[in-house]
Chain A
């Protein structure tokens, strides 16, 4: 049989997704269903004087109206689950519905439950709220400055925390270094924009006390855990189902008040309740990503050796500490400052700020793209400072292949790596040196071409549970699988992770089919329902394949071990005399004496002839906890042409060379890289969430927030190197976020390169036409004001 592991078979998920036969949360229809909508604050920051719901309660079709006074005494507020240690983190209360104060435009104040969405919507207009508007501040640096409005009584100066990681002696190194560069970088707010907005349907059985919650979740077990806390329900009476989930990019990891409130309303009314975000609501209340203002520096020797990196980062958490909010700009950001390089002296200081804006949490890459961006922008700036080719500066400073596993100055240990071949491949593929000549020719004709490189590492495959505990993450990070073999040899695998577009229904089936020597169609992967799947921690952080896939591999191995015992018994041979070949256990030397997997499945399940001491059935489970994170890496390269008249940037070519270890399915790997690069290119060129000075989101619809369209994404040329990880049995490293990590840096580096003739030293992303034009004007000494 041809090997199925490593084969680019088609995704089995796609037919139902592209033919409209998938069941999303909003498709769940139950008898007696009611519909919930939330009244949300129009102000970014205001005192609530009075909420009058009498008219709404009396409106036609309204089942119930709740305010915080009804809900909050009986529930626990939205928890923050990442209590970053060794810092002064303050987590303010986050009640399910605001009663005293609202802290961002979108903060929920009341909930209406009605017989129809239309009736609920009309009733919202009947609720009267008296607000006293207070000052807003959405910029994290300004929110920490004296005189900023005070958002939480128990968080003086809006200071969420100051966190630091240091290795070596960065201050000393900067004092003595030969060459230094510094940049101010704004990691703009981004809107995750999953195609499916969030939704929840809750059903409560008053007789049994069972709550069933269908919701848009990347991690139903975490949602079960957190909902049981918020609702004060025993966890075993809460069932969370994530049906088809239309993308998350991090935005469907956190606990929100919405799902808890829908559940609470179902418990109160005794009727099922549904809530579905529309896009405007999604942009207003579902978490945002990034939001840093950074002052970063790099130092080194005149001959291009990087010796230090230092930063002062202002990180906006938004109005409240979201589930993983505090961990992203700290643990997932500062710890990876060494990037792909040997940098002996590192210091990263992060000031977390509460602002009057939507909470910030994980968005594809979460902390690591911010780190990769600042490192790679600094490397290019440093290379220019010392007069070296930026590709050669990277090569010179790469962690050498011979030193893995390699511990960097921030204390984390990279599992495996070989960075130069990926750089070489990227340079060769894009024709780096030939392009430099083309660029020089074009400049003579008044055309402005640029080339940019980004080399990255990523910390993913989250991660060892012991480390999760040590870094304050309120969950385990192992994952789990049950492999269940039916009498006919068909296999169902129940997994703790919760894929929502990444293709693991296909790739995990490939793992199992390979193990058992059976057709991939004989394996079904089941996920997303806490009732049937074993305890796991969800799909994020490029962890699903490295961690949960390994659990699948281990559990399948256990099934196979048992099958081998049975085969030995049936063949009247010693186990030691059996070998696995061509999909069957065979007696060594007598290959015709064999038991294939299908026959063993039947014999184990009917149990007519089991060896002594072997239980009937053919099933095994596994909880896999990795010994370390995995560290994918790679180099992306991009060429651009800038039109100085309009400021437009056109990507000419985009090359991505990534190393995520062995590919289970190369087509799916490519798809993940494509999606990641699309998001990184969007971040580089056009995506930005903008608030006005009153804290109103000006980019609140897809008319103004520029998610890249198909025509705005370049052709992405992919290639790979393969360096297996030693920390899991598959050797895989994860590729879900890889494309996003360094793509924004590669694009912006290319744009800055193109703008060298104008003397433009740096430019903020997104590099919009308006900003490019303004940067050129400013460099020319003209009027470059006014670009955001």
Chain B
């Protein structure tokens, strides 16, 4: 439980951080809350030669209004997310999800940017970002680019972030008016990670579903947008229709089995959480 030795750079500003990352050969890692990276280092699964600590970079903090949506600084902690009145009003799914992550200590220190850049296939926020249509702002000394969530996540622990880039901000476009949202998670008893979890956003126009987005986490080797639920657009969301759409949720997904959830159970559980998330989101839609 002792990491290999490493150099440590504490960035005082965003410019500092980007300078430290410039020309990185892949042996430099960014550390914020450290809740995923430090355990991996202690197991020596990660052996970075250098850590760039961005914990003191004020520019990366804060949650602000952005048109009808919001911008969330990469250093926002889960606790910041939970306590934000803006997010509570516009994206209540974020607090609902954050409440189901780790424990109080984890939520106090763990950052949303860190979790997204880590891209654990069983972590919670990526699925939520997919259903909210989030965009990720990446900065480097070379410049700035904006990547949509669907392109940001590229597989287990794989993202669009290049070695010299830093995820600085997540931008959420406004959700459809009156949309309901829900995050439903079945946790592994020990870790609290998702055996299967689903995020759903459902918008209605005159009692008919006009917008729906559902994503799964914990089921395969990455996060998945569930396409089958588009069948519900134009319906009133009758229970049978939801169940039928949910039953197809894992089609095309290579469902993973492990000691906690053998693949057949996990595949079944995925359909349950998708169904429940849609039902709950629909019930919350105005």
Contacts and interface: CB of A to CB of B under 8 A. Distances in A.
B249 to A, nearest CB: 14
Given A122-B4, A280-B1, A770 B190 contact: no
A690 interface: yes
A278 B265 CA distance: 33
Interface in B240-259: 257, 259
Contacts of B193: 703
B239 interface: no
Nearest to A647: B265
B265 A704 contact: no
A786 B259 contact: no
B224 to A, nearest CB: 20
Interface residues on A, range: 35 or more
Interface stretch (A586-594, A663-671, A705-713): A705-713
Given A278-B1, A280-B1, A686-B189, A786 B272 contact: no
Interface residues of B, number: 24
A768 B257 contact: no
A688 B190 CA distance: 11
A783 B261 CA distance: 14
B186 A704 contact: no
B264 interface: yes
Contacts of B188: 704, 706
A281 to B, nearest CB: 8
B106 to A, nearest CB: 13
A581 interface: no
B191 interface: yes
B268 interface: yes
A769 B5 CA distance: 42
B58 interface: no
A648 B189 CA distance: 11
B26 interface: no
A788 B186 contact: no
Contacts of B259: 688, 690, 698-699, 704, 788
A645 interface: yes
Contact of A770 (B5, B44, B191, B262): B262
Which of B257, B259, B263 has the most chain A CB atoms inside 10 A of its CB? Answer: B259
Q: Could you tell me the dominant secondary structure of chain A's interface residues?
A: loop
A785 B186 contact: no
A773 B195 CA distance: 14
A787 B186 contact: no
A280 B4 CA distance: 17
A788 B189 contact: no
B186 A646 contact: yes
B236 to A, nearest CB: 23
Contact of A704 (B1, B190, B264, B268): B190
Main secondary structure of the interface of B (DSSP, over half): loop
B264 A785 contact: yes
A121 interface: yes
Interface string B7-45: 000000000000000000000000000000000000110
A645 B272 contact: yes
A770 B2 contact: no
A768 B189 contact: yes
B262 A786 contact: yes
A774 interface: yes
B1 A770 contact: no
B260 interface: yes
Contact of B2 (A121, A690, A783, A788): A121
B262 A787 contact: yes
Nearest to A770: B265
A118 interface: yes
Interface in A679-717: 685-686, 688, 690, 698-699, 702-707, 712
Contacts of A279: 1
Contact of B265 (A121, A707, A787): A787
Contacts of B265: 647, 769-770, 773-774, 786-787
A221 interface: no
A774 B269 CA distance: 12
A117 interface: yes
Contacts of A783: 264
A786 B4 contact: no
B263 A786 contact: yes
Interface in A730-788: 768-770, 773-774, 777, 783, 785-788
Contacts of A118: 2, 5
Interface in A423-439: none
A366 B34 CA distance: 40
Nearest to B266: A770
Contacts of B4: 122
A774 B265 CA distance: 7
A689 B4 CA distance: 29
Give the interface centre of B1, B189, B195 by most chain A CB atoms within 10 Å: B189
B262 A788 contact: yes
Contacts of A785: 262, 264
Contacts of A647: 265
Nearest to B271: A645
A786 B261 CA distance: 8
7 contacts: A125-B44, A646-B269, A702-B190, A703-B190, A770-B265, A786-B264, A787-B265
Interface of B: 1-2, 4-5, 43-44, 186, 188-191, 193, 195, 257, 259-265, 268-269, 272
Interface of A: 117-118, 121-122, 125, 278-280, 645-648, 685-686, 688, 690, 698-699, 702-707, 712, 768-770, 773-774, 777, 783, 785-788
Given A712-B189, A783-B264, A786-B257, 5 more contacts: A117-B2, A704-B260, A706-B190, A768-B260, A777-B264
